Copies of this chain bind each other. A is one copy, B any other.
């Protein structure tokens, strides 16, 4: 299937180059990226079972997308925002890009322990010298990963590339602060900040003269003072940008990145009442209403594409950038429970932090209504989108780790279920230490998952097939699996040039996991 895909698209490209192309043959592509949405925060069940959280949320348009696409049950990302977004842009695993934690707004500002610009107090570990300045398409920015973003490759091949919403690839003052330097023709609202100042048009989305407005969402003046929720405003803007390419038969790529459902958890009044009626506390209901807001956005996108007659030729990939936030009190509920049945949440390499809702739909070409448990990972999106676009002949300055999962979408072939999926997070996310949200590395291979806790140098082994919640550490009872995964994790870390934190006591890096095994 991969070959035939590439052949068809290469033909399309070749005809375009001689100046008269059947452009409509080239598929349109939409990445619909949600912020901080948990794996179970949908009426679509991404697991084998329906869990209690699935019964709370009402996401009819995700159900609609799942019915006309493939539900990806084991979609992995980094545990915080910009590492995932940068893996998507570059095809690099974040261990390779060395952009392993979320990026600050300010240049040269590591976010170890949060972005309060305070010195992190840690008696055990010294953070790595990571690429806190994000990614960089120019190769001129220190502490940033030099890359060729895939939208640039798409644009160079005639695609009309559009960014709408949250960017968060790099801090102020560097090229990757602007979508126009990342290969986008059009930018609506994309910039450096990782969250909205406010979701409320009545608040000018936080852009007011009487409050701190530096952080506000750009390009939204037309909605200032109106009752338009930011999720709705971004949707309206996104659809506007599509008229030109569709009306002129130009293939497009839309990078549609909602700020929702990130904090601030400001309810969407279109939907909050039904969740209050279900007995949720106000903040839980507010969160659920944000989820339904992005579901409505998805539905409006689907409606628009159908009305325009391009739905069947448009690939849509829906996913979240990291697991659900489980420690911010404003989300309501009990800490560390927000991704049940998964363990922990945002900032953690346990499943709750890195396994996210994902659906891929490509009109009649996708294996509609099916679910796959084959693991896929954020950096795969780079390769998948270029594959689907039929762009094969390209150069990148970076080594691309991701692989196309186009065959999983079309159902024409399978991918390796046992492919190693690495999540490397050598950081303390928040100012306060949270046991499960700390310096760690994880590797999934098939059903098995190894967790390496840097602070304690402990290895934990889980069988996800029987223990999705990672409650039963099998490190002692499955020594061969432990060794196999420790060696695989070591190989992955070395192959990708991962940075390891330093033990303050010795001044040396933490050992690789195979070294720990060999010391047993």
Smallest CB gap from A186: residue in B: B186
1/0 contact trace for A218-259 toward B, CB 8 Å? 110111111000000000010011001001111000000000
Contact A219 B244 (CB under 8 A): no
Contact B208 A214 (CB under 8 A): yes
Contact A180 B188 (CB under 8 A): yes
Q: List 29 A-B contacts (CB under 8 A).
A: A19-B249, A107-B225, A155-B244, A156-B247, A158-B248, A160-B244, A172-B224, A172-B225, A173-B222, A173-B225, A174-B222, A176-B222, A177-B221, A178-B222, A178-B237, A180-B188, A180-B240, A180-B241, A181-B240, A185-B186, A185-B244, A187-B219, A192-B221, A207-B214, A208-B214, A209-B212, A213-B213, A218-B219, A219-B219
Q: Which 6 A-B pairs have the closest CB atoms?
A: A172-B224, A218-B218, A177-B222, A20-B20, A177-B221, A173-B225
Q: Does A90 contact B (CB under 8 A)?
A: no
Q: Please list the residues of chain A having a beta carbon within 8 angstroms of any beta carbon in chain B.
A: 19-20, 107, 155-156, 158, 160, 172-178, 180-181, 185-188, 191-192, 204, 207-209, 212-215, 218-219, 221-226, 237, 240-241, 244, 247-250
Q: How many copies does the complex hold?
A: 2
Chain B residue contacts of A107, Cβ below 8 A: 225
Smallest CB gap from A170: residue in B: B222
Smallest CB gap from A155: residue in B: B244
Chain B residue contacts of A176, Cβ below 8 A: 222
Chain B residue contacts of A218, Cβ below 8 A: 218-219
Alpha-carbon distance between A257 and B224 when the two chains are bound, in angstroms: 23
Given known pairs A20-B20, A237-B180, A248-B158, the reply for A223 and B187 (CB within 8 Å) is no
Contact A191 B158 (CB under 8 A): no
Question: Per DSSP, are chain A's interface residues mostly helix, strand or loop, or mixed?
Answer: loop
Contact A173 B226 (CB under 8 A): yes
Contact A223 B173 (CB under 8 A): yes
Most buried by B among A107, A173, A249: A173
